[in-house]
Amino acid sequence: MQTPTAPGSQPKIDTVWKACAYGDFETLRSLLGQEPSLVQRGDEQGYYPLQWAALNNRVGIINYLLETGAPVNLADHTGQTALHWAAVRGSLSAAETLLRSGADLSLQDGKGYTVCHVAAQYGQTAFLYHVALRWGADLDLLDNDQRSPLHWAAYKGYADTIRLLMVMDGNMTLADHEGCTPLHWAAIRGNGEACTLLLQGGAQSLLTARDVTGSTPAQLALSKGHRALGLHLADWRRRHEHSGKGGPFSFLFNTQLCPIIWTFIIMMLGMFVHRIMRHPGLVPLRYHPTFVGWIAVLLALSGLVLLYKTTTADPGFIPCGDSAHGSVGQGRKASPATSASRHGERYNHYKQLDSPALWAGAWNQLCVTCKVVRPLRAKHCSVSDRCVRQFDHFCPWVGNCIGQGNRHLFLAFLWVELAAMVLVAAVAALRLHHIAKHEGPATHRAVPWVVCFFVTDLVVGGSVAALAITQASQVARNVTTNELANWSRYKYLRDHEGAFQNPFDRGCKQNCLDAWNPTQATPAPYVLQEESGSKMSLLKMEQGQAAIQDWDSDA
C-alpha cells in the first residue's frame, strides 16, 4: 500500500486512482464522467479508487465515490477493503465516513486480517480506540494463524497499542498455531517495553508457557540474541515464583518497616521516661522541665495515632477493573449510530473507557495492571500494586503509599513527632547540664543513657526535620515528590520551552487547605483545560510504516 510516487513529487494526475490518492476532485469527476465504470475498476496492481482515497484520508473523494456507486466493502485481490487501507495510516475521518456508509469491521482479507489486525500492525492506537469505542469493534478476532491484534502489537513493539488492547481486555493467553502468546513474540523481537507491559498486565504465568518447540519466552529471547531481555525475563520469573506478597509472611511484606518505627518510638519513650526524667541517679526535675517532658510524651503518643491513621488510611487508590470506569467518564457522548443496543455487552465495556485523556491521545495514562485510565498526577505504585491519586511516594516506614488521601496525615505525623523530639532533646540537654554540675557514682551510671538518648534523638530528629520541611514545602506549592523527581517525563509539568511549570499551584493558602481536606479539594483532571478540546493527536494522520515482515524469519 504505497502512494504512486515518493512524498514531495506529484506527477501528472491522469488516472482515477492518482486523482483519488492526491485528492484531485476535478480530475476525478472529469474522468468518471467519461467512464463511470472506473469507480469499480482496479489499477494495474488491482487496487480500487476507494482504497487510495481511504489510505490518504480523502473524505470528500470518498463521499463522491460512494455516491457514484463504489461498493463500500469492495475487496481487492488480497481481500482487503477500503477500511483496511484506512487503518494503515490511521485515517480516522475516512474510516468514520466508510463506517457510516456501511463498512464491515469484521471482514477479513486473504490472511485473515481484520481492520483491527492492520491497525495493530501499524501501531494506529487512536484508530483502534475509535473503532472500538464508537463502533464496537471486536479486538480479539483471530487471523488465519490464530493471532490476535495483541499478538501483532507485541511483535511490532507498539507500546501504546499494547496498553490500549490490554486495558480493553485483549486476551494475553491466546497461543497461535506455533504455540506463541504475545509475550513469546515480544521476546522473539527483543521488544523489552512490550514484555514489561504484558508482565505488568498479568502475563507472569506465561513466563513458563512453551511454544511448539518447547521454548519459554526467556529462552526465545536468548536464542534470538536478546541476552539482556532474556535474563530480565528469567529474573522476573524467579521473583514471581518467590514473591513475598502471599503466604504466612504477607503481613510483614505489607507493613514493610512500619513495625520498626513503632518499636523505635516506644523504646525511645520508655528510655526518656525511665532513664532521663526519672533516673534514680539524677536529681528530680523541677516543675517546668517535668511539664515539658510530659508534653513531649503526649506529642509522641499523638504521633503514633497519626502514624496508625497514615498506615491504615486509603491514600487515594483508584478502583481497579470495571468498578473504576464510572470515574473514568467525562468523555464525549456517544453518537446515535453507536447505541449500546447496537453493540451489546462488548460496546458497553468499551464505553466505560471513554475518557478525554484517551481522545487526546494520552495513552501513557492507561494502567495495564489496574485496567483504568489514570487522571493526571496519579501513578501506579509497584509496591502496593495499585494506582494512587496524586501519588507522592511509597514510604516503607509507614507501610503505605503517600497520596491524596493520607498526605496530610503523614505531614502531621512528621511535625508532631519532630516537636516531640525537639522537646525531649531540650530535657536531655538539661540533664547533661545537671550531670556536669553533680558528680557521683549514681550520676556516672546515668551518663551513658543520657548521652545515647541525646545523640540518637539528634540524628533521627535531623532526618525527620529534613523530611518534614521538604513535605511542607511541597504541600505549600501543591507538588509531589514523584512530580519533582520525574517532571521531565510529564508533559503537563513542562511549558512550551521544556522548563518546569506547575499548573496546579493555587497559592500557598489554598494549596494547604486542599491538602488538609482532600475530600473537598478539586480532583486532578484527566487533561489540562487547554488540551481538553483538542483532538489533534486523535485526528493526526501518521505516515504508513514499512511493509509487514514475514513471520517465518523470526519463528
- Contact call for residues 475 and 515 (beta carbons, < 8 A): yes
Q: How far is CA 437 from CA 277, 282, 349, 440, 445, in A?
A: 17, 11, 78, 10, 15
Please give the grid coordinates belonging to residue 422. 525537639
Taking the CB of residue 259, how many other CB atoms lie within 10 A of it? 12
114 contact partners, CB below 8 Å, separation of at least 6 = 105, 106, 107, 108, 137, 138, 141, 143, 149
| Active-site pick, 180, 367, 395, 401 | 395
Grid-cell match 532526618, residue found:
463
Taking the CB of residue 198, how many other CB atoms lie within 10 A of it? 29
User: How far is Cα 248 from Cα 233, in angstroms, rounded to an integer?
Assistant: 27
**Dihedral angle of Cα 537, 542, 545, 548, to the nearest 10 degrees:** 70
Q: For the chain, percent helix, then strand, then coil, each to nearest 5? A: 55, 5, 40
Q: Look up 395 and say whether it is catalytic.
A: yes
Grid-cell match 525511665, residue found:
274
* Strands 379-381 and 386-388, bridge-based pairing: antiparallel
Length of the chain: 555
Please say whether the dihedral angle defined by the alpha carbons of residues 151, 156, 159 and 160, taken in this order, is positive or negative.
Answer: negative
Q: How far is CA 443 from the centre of its chain?
A: 61
Return phi, psi of residue 465, to 5°: -65, -45
Q: How far is CA 307 from CA 261, 387, 444, 445, 542, in A?
A: 9, 22, 36, 34, 52
Which of the residues are catalytic? 395
